[in-house]
Chain A
Amino acid sequence: MTDAAASYNLLFKIELGENKNMNNAISRRQAFGLGAGVIVGLALPLRPTAALAKNDAEEAIKSFAGGKTPEKAKVKLELPEIAENGNTVPVTVSIESPMTKDSYVKDVLIIADGNPRAGVITFHFSPSAVPEANTRIRLAETQNVVAVAKMNDGSVYMASKEVKVTIGGCGG
């Protein structure tokens, strides 16, 4: 663990989502590197368009939220606009909550709607925790990252941000 918030791990248990298996997938940057002895900085293999990139994100959110429609509030999602390295994108999620026995964040689900599988990670909090967590996630392509927070009273909130995974090489 190298993240500043690593110590928060003591306060909640982390559940890795199914896309941990994605480590087997070859990233686009790597795939391109394999194919060419001389690599143009501008090049990555084919990217499906956003419309084709849908996965099980909607179902995952629905089942996590218990059928409720999450309200766009209380959740803050910190992500870069453009990923420097799609293989390891830093994400920090924080939730507005008093974190008392009577009112606290229970679970936070992170979803990536353009990965082969949407589920990334679920954080579980206890009332004594700091309602913030960070980790690094892998993004296969440009897509939305969504954080859904479930409070102890069953109410659900969310935030989402588009992260662009780009070829780069031509700025300036």
Chain B
Amino acid sequence: MTSRREFLQIAAAAAAIIPGEWTRAFAQQRLTQSDLLAFEPVGNVTLVHITDIHAQLVPILFREPSINIGVGDAKGVVPHVTGKALLDLYKIPTGSAEAYALTSEDFSALAKSYGRMGGLDRIATVINAIRAERGDRVVLLDGGDTWQNSYTSLVSKGQDMVDCFKLLKPDAMVGHWEFTLGADRVKEIAEDLGFPFLGLNVRDTEWNESAFEPMTMIERGGVKIAVLGQAFPYTPIANPRWMIPNWSFGIREDDVQANVEKARQQGAQLVVLLSHNGFDVDRKLASRVKGIDVILTGHTHDALSDVVQIGKTLLVASGSHGKFVSRLDLDVQGGEVKAYRYKLIPIFSDVITPDAQMTAKIKDVRAPYEPMLREVVGHTETLLYRRGNFNGTLDDVICEALLSERDAEIALSPGFRWGTSLLPGQEITREDIYNATAMTYPAAYRMTMTGGRLKEILEDVADNLFNPDPYYQQGGDMVRAGGVSYTIDVAKPIGDRISDLKLLRTGQLLEQAKEYTVAGWASINENTEGPPVWDVVMNHVQKRKTVAPRETTHVRVQGI
């Protein structure tokens, strides 16, 4: 197998320039569409992968995490390398376009230079260009988290995304947040999709039979390709089970192996797993399941400049929110990958010309809501972002809103990895708030909870993130806690990670049996009561006019 990592060729000269003095024009002068797309083709198959767009049709800002701790075998290795360490690892110059796209380093300054990323019309341009170049060798695969988490996808129940993706014509997709539309809607869309909605790990709870096609066979470039699809294994645990009561998920490693063997028996020369497992789960899966050539990973939102090879399996991580398109060229001969070349193509929205047909479609689906979405509700003086293991300034605003609007002592906000970023000085629009909150179970509840129970919740979520066995991880970040501070030792077992849990208001340790007032959102329980969280956040921001959350030290991390 030959490997050659493709990087942007533009960065070295740019590194010396002071970020603050850059302009948007600078980005356009330094980057060109042909540079971004430049690729020396290899072999007879081209896999194109997009994943975790989270219904972002138009270009966005998305700051990658500064803290993303790996445990067990994943300690200190990608994707658990962030910031400067990631730049050093991949030899990416500080202040370069790639540094902006892949890390949190200097994000606010670089965002002003390099602008927004993503946009499905820019993605369409890239895909069209690859198809024009590679003809019938191209397979386009969507890793899921496509139909939800923007306003238009919420009100249209995913129809906006379905309509736009019809123009892209993927060959298959898998799901996770899709399932939060409810079983009936998922079935309805899947039947009308025009390409398979795969899920080899989804079975009906009554008969234990496959609920979705496990795989699809595609012939491209004279190569018979099996695409196996894996839905997010913990959908009924991380998201409301009552919305999909008759479907059971799970990693189902044995089923993956059985389907690989079946695919080979049916003559597949290339076996691809389109996965929403999360990167660490797929790394373990690749070491245990034999015969997978490529895993297109998703769910954990990692963007990696190079493939990771585990045994004979290549793992691709294509980021999130439409920031990247992955291109993997493969030379498949005699049922084996003989050579490959990979490029993580960054979608700089000011550099890549939008595809006119897709632009028109996006405009069309957004038109009825555009004036409302553009309404300004406030202003931020500091960078608002969500990604990171323990906290984000955007979540600090949400927790503040829950505390004040719901009159609570403690706020809990889920550790979702989706949600766009806002720069210091930026106006906050209704769309920005929807981008951080739009989902089908948004009720902002208010309840009482003992100190002991709160600690147990923190312990439980921490174990979902830091269990040393990735098969027991769920792939989100730590639940955000407002109004409290705590210490977490990520290396300890469940029950022993959280200590020194204090109420910020009093500075006192939380008492085991004492009841505290807690507000939160995204409860997975049916019939949760409360106003939608976006109303809570909008009311709060409108009253404050300006928010300015600073990096806090309310979570002290040990055991790294």
A contact residues vs B (CB 8 Å cutoff): 2-4, 33, 36-47, 49, 78, 80-82, 84-85, 90, 142, 162, 164, 166-172
Q: A41-B522, A42-B461, A49-B495 are in contact. Are A171 and B476 (CB under 8 A)?
A: yes
Cβ of B254 < 8 Å from any Cβ of A?
yes
Question: Which residue of chain B lies nearest to A41 when distances are taken between CB atoms in the complex?
Answer: B524
A84 and B248 contacting across the interface, CB-CB below 8 Å: yes
What chain B residues lie within 8 Å of A3 (beta carbons)?
208
Question: Which residue of chain A lies nearest to B453 when distances are taken between CB atoms in the complex?
Answer: A43
Cβ of B445 < 8 Å from any Cβ of A?
yes
- Contacting residue for A171 out of B237, B251, B449, B460, CB 8 A: B237
B254 and A42 contacting across the interface, CB-CB below 8 Å: no
Q: A166-B460, A171-B239, A172-B475 are in contact. Are A46 and B453 (CB under 8 A)?
A: yes
What chain B residues lie within 8 Å of A42 (beta carbons)?
412, 457, 460-461, 479, 520, 523
What chain B residues lie within 8 Å of A38 (beta carbons)?
445-447, 523, 528-530
B475 and A171 contacting across the interface, CB-CB below 8 Å: yes
| Alpha-carbon distance A153/B307, docked complex (angstroms) | 51
A172 and B176 contacting across the interface, CB-CB below 8 Å: yes
What chain B residues lie within 8 Å of A167 (beta carbons)?
456-457, 460-461
User: Interface size bucket, B side?
Assistant: 35 or more
Of B152-160, B308-316, B414-422, the one touching chain A: B414-422
Cβ of A163 to closest chain B Cβ, rounded Å: 10
20 of the cross-chain contacts (CB-CB < 8 Å) are A4-B207, A33-B525, A39-B523, A41-B528, A42-B461, A42-B479, A43-B457, A44-B456, A46-B452, A47-B456, A82-B250, A164-B472, A166-B237, A170-B464, A171-B232, A171-B234, A171-B475, A172-B145, A172-B176, A172-B418
Q: A40-B518, A85-B241, A172-B417 are in contact. Are A90 and B457 (CB under 8 A)?
A: no
Cβ of B509 to closest chain A Cβ, rounded Å: 18
Q: A42-B461, A81-B250, A164-B472 are in contact. Are A169 and B523 (CB under 8 A)?
A: yes
What chain B residues lie within 8 Å of A170 (beta carbons)?
238, 414-416, 461, 464, 474, 476-479
Which of B176, B417, B452, B494 has most A Cβ within 10 Å?
B494
Cβ of B231 to closest chain A Cβ, rounded Å: 12
What chain A residues lie within 8 Å of B524 (beta carbons)?
41, 168-169
Instruction: Identify which of residues 468-508 in chain B touch chain A, using a CB-to-CB cut-off of 8 Å.
Output: 469, 471-472, 474-479, 494-495
What chain A residues lie within 8 Å of B299 (beta carbons)?
172
Q: A172-B176, A172-B417 are in contact. Are A2 and B530 (CB under 8 A)?
A: no
- Contacting residue for A40 out of B145, B232, B449, B452, CB 8 A: B449
| In the complex, per-residue mask of B434-478: 1 if CB is within 8 Å of any chain A CB, else 0 | 000000000001111100110011001101100101011011111
B456 and A166 contacting across the interface, CB-CB below 8 Å: no
B525 and A39 contacting across the interface, CB-CB below 8 Å: yes
What chain B residues lie within 8 Å of A166 (beta carbons)?
237, 460, 463-464, 474
Q: A42-B412, A167-B460, A172-B232 are in contact. Are A84 and B241 (CB under 8 A)?
A: yes
| Alpha-carbon distance A3/B177, docked complex (angstroms) | 28
If A39-B527, A41-B522, A85-B236 are given as contacts, then 4 extra A-B residue pairs at C-beta distance below 8 Å, sorted by A number, are A84-B241, A168-B524, A172-B299, A172-B416
Cβ of B206 < 8 Å from any Cβ of A?
yes
B525 and A40 contacting across the interface, CB-CB below 8 Å: yes
Q: A40-B520, A44-B460 are in contact. Are A84 and B528 (CB under 8 A)?
A: no
Cβ of A100 to closest chain B Cβ, rounded Å: 26
What chain A residues lie within 8 Å of B236 (beta carbons)?
84-85
Cβ of B212 < 8 Å from any Cβ of A?
no
What chain A residues lie within 8 Å of B448 (beta carbons)?
36
| Alpha-carbon distance A84/B528, docked complex (angstroms) | 19
What chain B residues lie within 8 Å of A169 (beta carbons)?
237-239, 414, 461, 522-524
Cβ of B279 < 8 Å from any Cβ of A?
no
- Contacting residue for B237 out of A2, A37, A84, CB 8 A: A84
